[in-house]
């Protein structure tokens, strides 16, 4: 209860424009920034750690655009809501979160805005059952594993179901949430599960498995509905630190150009984290070229879908209604 009161107080403080209390002063907003250390959080699981974010971090691209004496601190936070709350409380400066979390936050009145968006990852529905040749062969009682309800893969499946069956919740009773590690082992080697929602990089192992077959490619639904990740900050941080905002966007643009112009070098860099052949990563780059822009139509489509599904109670904000819309890199 005490924690909730603190979070509510911080939200109110941010909304009415009280000064942030995190970090050390570096000369005030007249210099375009307020502190000497930028803290950036991402989810530790590399499935949610976007390719572009990895390149920015590993090549130190952000530091190229920061004033002298400003450093960057990267940290991992596993739980999405914890990261969002830490952002609002001023304990973090940038958070790399699914776009859906931005939509939930803005519909709830939390003062978060996007700085850049990142391309979604490949996602599919896999099965080991020889009797399941396609998604229509899945029947009530068959279990489909997912890392969680409402994650990008599950949402993509719901959007497919709305289009294919006229009912977004067609398979919701089949969903069995479990961790990524348990999910892959179970669907690959047991009869407890009929199918599993598997995203890159685990999809590489799924493709290589003798026991699994891809029965539904959900990647088009992920891409068309902006089911990727977004770099978020609070509105007050955005307004008071334009130097850091521009530095981040410049670093993201450089990372995209590096990957597109040097896919083999990018693959070598990323193979250190995903531990498989660089040719596979190059293929992923070719199939889903990186971007730092947010798809406006995809964002609005996802927001409306989440509202229709009752994930958010209040009418969501479209991308054009966000306070920094004019500055957002978008397509």
Q: What is the mean pLDDT of residues 238-242?
A: 96
HSE value, Cβ hemisphere, 13 Å, CA-based, for 260? 11
pLDDT of residue 44: 62
Candidate CATH numbers 3.40.605.10, 3.40.50.920, 3.40.190.10, 3.30.390.10; the one for domain 2-20+34-120+226-327: 3.40.190.10
Closest alpha carbon to 173 in 154, 192, 159: 154
Name every residue whose Cβ is closer than 8 Å to that of residue 310 and which is 6 or more positions away in sequence.
none
> Is 123-224 assigned to CATH 3.40.190.10?
yes
HSE value, Cβ hemisphere, 13 Å, CA-based, for 310? 2
Q: How far apart are CA 30 and CA 71, in angstroms?
A: 19
Contact 256, 126 (CB under 8 A): no
% of the chain with per-residue pLDDT over 70: 86
Asked whether this chain's domains 2-20+34-120+226-327 and 123-224 adopt the same fold, the reply is: yes
Contact 292, 256 (CB under 8 A): yes
Residue 184 has pLDDT above 90, yes or no: no
Least confident range of 195-199, 234-238, 283-287: 283-287
The pLDDT-based confidence of 31 (bands split at 50, 70, 90) is confident
Q: What is the mean pLDDT of residues 168-180?
A: 91
Q: How far apart are CA 266 and CA 262, in angstroms?
A: 6
pLDDT of residue 301: 96
Q: What is the mean pLDDT of residues 9-16?
A: 38
Contact 47, 201 (CB under 8 A): yes
Residue 12 has pLDDT above 80, yes or no: no
3-state SS track over 108-122:
CCCCEEEEEEECCCC
Residue 18 has pLDDT above 60, yes or no: no
| Burial degree of 301 (CB within 10 A; 0-12, 13-18, 19+) | middle
Residue 91 Cα to chain centre, angstroms: 20
Q: Where are the domains of the chain?
A: 2-20+34-120+226-327, 123-224
pLDDT of residue 47: 45
């Amino acid at each position: 209860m005490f924690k909730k009161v603190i979070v509510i107080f911080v939200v109110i403080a941010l909304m009415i424009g009280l000064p942030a209390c995190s970090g050390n002063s570096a000369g005030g907003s007249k210099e375009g920034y307020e502190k000497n250390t930028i803290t950036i959080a991402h989810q530790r699981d590399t499935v949610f750690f976007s390719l572009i974010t990895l390149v920015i971090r590993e090549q130190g691209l952000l530091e190229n655009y920061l004033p002298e004496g400003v450093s960057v601190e990267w940290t991992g936070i596993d739980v999405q809501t914890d990261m969002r709350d830490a952002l609002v409380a001023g304990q973090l400066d940038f958070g790399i979160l699914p776009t859906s979390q931005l939509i939930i936050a803005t519909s709830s009145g939390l003062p978060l805005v996007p700085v850049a968006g990142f391309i979604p990852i490949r996602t599919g529905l896999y099965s080991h059952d020889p009797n399941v040749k396609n998604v229509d062969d899945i029947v009530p009682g068959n279990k489909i594993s997912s890392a969680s309800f409402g994650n990008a893969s599950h949402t993509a499946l719901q959007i497919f179901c709305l289009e294919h069956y006229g009912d977004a919740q067609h398979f919701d009773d089949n969903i069995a949430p479990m961790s990524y590690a348990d999910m892959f082992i179970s669907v690959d080697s047991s009869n407890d599960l009929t199918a599993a929602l598997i995203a890159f990089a685990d999809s590489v192992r799924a493709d290589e498995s003798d026991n699994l077959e891809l029965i539904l490619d959900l990647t088009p639904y992920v891409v068309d509905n902006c089911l990727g990740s977004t770099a978020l900050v609070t509105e007050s941080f955005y307004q008071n630190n334009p130097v850091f905002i521009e530095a981040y966007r410049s670093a993201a643009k450089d990372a995209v150009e590096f990957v597109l112009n040097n896919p083999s070098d990018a693959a070598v860099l990323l193979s250190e984290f995903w531990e498989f052949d660089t040719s596979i990563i190059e293929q992923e780059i070719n199939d889903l070229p990186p971007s730092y822009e947010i798809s406006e139509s995809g964002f609005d489509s996802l927001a409306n879908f989440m509202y229709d599904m009752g994930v958010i109670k209040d009418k969501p904000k479209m991308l054009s209604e966000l306070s920094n819309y004019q500055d957002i890199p978008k397509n």
